[in-house]
Structure 1
Amino acid sequence: MSIRSRAPNRIDLGGGTLDIWPLYLLLGRGVTLNVAVSVYSHVALDDEPGGGYRLVSEDTGYENAAKSLGALDFDGPLGLVARAVRYFDPPPGLRVVTRNEAPQGSGLGASSSLLVALLAALERLTRRAPGSTDLVNLAADLEAQVIRVPTGKQDHYAGVYGGANAIWFEPGRNRVESLPMPDS
């Protein structure tokens, strides 16, 4: 088994913070504008010889390994990756390798893009297909569990949809409007 996935990082053009629940509700609605860029977050899923689970971050050097899914560290540096793997509950014998082209702290939404790429790869592995909006919501939920504060969703939408987008946050729904981009 070998699955590869990648998602673009993004540049926020405006409306950051307005994507956080319930802020956009208190304002009536919110809109964020962002553009996906050719800086990617990468995920590789492969067989892990000897069974168990091995999570590796190539760019940070962190590793999280355990014989059983429940024994992974869900609060350490790779806690977000571990929580995503636990959600999909794949069988043992899984190696997850992640890599970000964007440096940590760059402000390009790299961790959110990495999570979207990971969730998409795990969907393929487990043959689930929740759809793009559910992927965004799942990513935001898992991220909020790790950082323990409400999260926005614009970074996740950029990773799922790519391109330039206006993302409307309204009561009961979020709406992605693809924006035309001039040829360069």
Structure 2
Amino acid sequence: MSFEVQAPGRVCLFGEHSDYLGLDVIPAAIDMYIRITAHPGDDDTISIEYLDTGQKDTFPAAQCIPYKRSRDYVRSAFNVMRRNGMSPKHGWHLEIEGNIPIAAGLSSSSALTTAAVLAVARMSEEEIGKDRLAELAFFAEVAEFKESGGRMDHYASAYGGLIHLAFDEKLKVTQIPAEPEGFVIGDSMQRKQDTVGDLRSIRETVESEYERFKRQMPEFDLKHTPVNQIEELSRNTADKARTMAITTLRNRDLTKRALGVLNGPKVDAGDLGDLINEHHKYLRDGLGRSTPKIEKLIARSLDAGALGCKINGSGGGGTMLAYAPKAQEEVAKAIQDAGGAPYIVRIGKGAAFMELDR
């Protein structure tokens, strides 16, 4: 039986550059998807067509396969699933397409990997829940290639909606009932050069500073030590690495405040916009993740009526997010006039499977 799977991209409302440090995050799936359509074949070969790029791939269905390039995520999904006891019983023809901008901070690669893992599970006649789907996608995208990313993107894609991820002794996922509307994505059209390298650099720098904190303050606790104590400790240490580490603690506290707003009886749009603006300030000034083009798109969006704006993903290019509950069209036009590509989006559904008649 032919089938289709889809997995959404995501935006991180609060907690950028936090999940891989073990700090809480609040991501939201968006209604932009990677789709894989699968048709059973009559041999033992997996054949793939990437409809958006014209690329093709073919490999045996029943054995471990080598990687043709770094970050070969569909092949890695097959390999990881095979190691976990799930492998197609026969050949399949896959068609892959999507509408998530690539290398733009919207987790297109995580959506692709999540969709691929779900597709392999269905080809293997196995049912997997959201948590296992997210974990297997994380292993296929991040651990398989020894990269530095966290689990946020995969859980956001698997679950859908707006979620809170808490990284304590055991990862805890809580779906947030709030459904804020009015989001606009602005693509700067500047592709990020090295997302993986950026994440590795930030992670290594910040975690090294945490170790310095512990040497200076043995009772330092990443989850609970007040940031003002670290600021006091750092009065005579004015360097970039220390600023970055302190910024991650400010992000930690901001995420807690944002969770309170989103879990309230009614989300105040003005308060949410202010928090998004504050988050961008930390990402821009504390972590150096913005660009002149992104700043231009943000300024124009705020002038057009957005209540809050921030850069998406690892930064250094890619996209920005505008929260504009009553001004989406105006903000989209402002982004376009400023040389960006706008996308009006809603919070999306999680990864899903559907059987096809043909």
Q: Which TM-score tier does this pair reach, normalised by the shorter chain?
A: 0.7 to 0.9
Q: Percent identity?
A: 24
Cα distance in 2 for partners of 1:69, 1:31 equals 39
AA of the residue aligned to 2:155: Y
1:41, CA displacement in angstroms? 0.9
1:64, CA displacement in angstroms? 1.7
AA of the residue aligned to 1:102: I
AA of the residue aligned to 1:40: Y
Q: Which residue is 2:338 aligned to?
A: none
* 1:7-28 CA distance string (max 9 Å, x none): 11111112122211xx21xxxx
RCO greater where, 1 or 2, for CA within 8 Å and sep 6 or more? 1
AA of the residue aligned to 1:36: A
CA RMSD for the aligned pairs?
A: 2.3
1:40, CA displacement in angstroms? 0.8
Q: Which residue is 2:305 aligned to?
A: none
1:103 aligns with 2:101: yes
Higher strand share: 1
Structure 1 residue corresponding to 2:74, chosen from 81, 100, 108: 81
Structure 2 residue corresponding to 1:128, chosen from 96, 113, 126: 126
AA of the residue aligned to 2:73: L
1:137, CA displacement in angstroms? 1.0
Cα distance in 1 for partners of 2:17, 2:68 equals 25
Higher helix share: 2
Structure 2 residue corresponding to 1:48, chosen from 28, 35, 41: 41
Give the ranges of 4+ consecutive aligned residues of structure 1 lying more than 6 Å apart after TM superposition.
none
Structure 2 stretches of 5 or more lacking a match? 183-358
Cα distance in 1 for partners of 2:71, 2:137 equals 15
Q: Which residue is 1:27 aligned to?
A: none
Cα distance in 1 for partners of 2:155, 2:56 equals 27
> Are 1:31 and 1:169, in contact at CA under 8 Å, matched by a contact in 2?
yes
Q: Which residue is 1:172 aligned to?
A: 170
* 1:12-50 CA distance string (max 9 Å, x none): 112122211xx21xxxxx211122111111111112355
SS at match of 2:77: helix
SS at match of 1:76: coil
1:171, CA displacement in angstroms? 1.7
TM-score by length of 1: 0.83
Structure 1 stretches of 5 or more lacking a match? 25-29
Cα distance in 2 for partners of 1:146, 1:51 equals 25
> Are 2:27 and 2:163, in contact at CA under 8 Å, matched by a contact in 1?
yes
1:147, CA displacement in angstroms? 3.7
TM-score by length of 2: 0.45
1:90 aligns with 2:88: yes
* 1:121-177 CA distance string (max 9 Å, x none): 222222222321111111111112454213211111111111112221112223233
1:95, CA displacement in angstroms? 1.5
1:68, CA displacement in angstroms? 5.1
AA of the residue aligned to 1:7: A
SS at match of 2:179: coil
AA of the residue aligned to 1:95: H
> Are 1:40 and 1:101, in contact at CA under 8 Å, matched by a contact in 2?
yes
SS at match of 1:140: helix
AA of the residue aligned to 1:34: P
More deviation in 82-91 or 1-10? 82-91
SS at match of 1:85: helix
> Are 2:33 and 2:99, in contact at CA under 8 Å, matched by a contact in 1?
yes
Q: Give runs of aligned pairs for residues 1-184 of structure 1, distance below 5 A.
A: 1-20=1-20, 23-24=21-22, 30-67=23-60, 69-70=62-63, 72-76=65-69, 79-86=72-79, 87=81, 88-182=86-180
How many pairs are equivalent? 177
SS at match of 2:165: strand
> Are 1:2 and 1:47, in contact at CA under 8 Å, matched by a contact in 2?
yes
SS at match of 2:141: helix
More deviation in 84-93 or 161-170? 84-93
> Are 2:42 and 2:90, in contact at CA under 8 Å, matched by a contact in 1?
no
1:181, CA displacement in angstroms? 1.2
AA of the residue aligned to 2:6: R
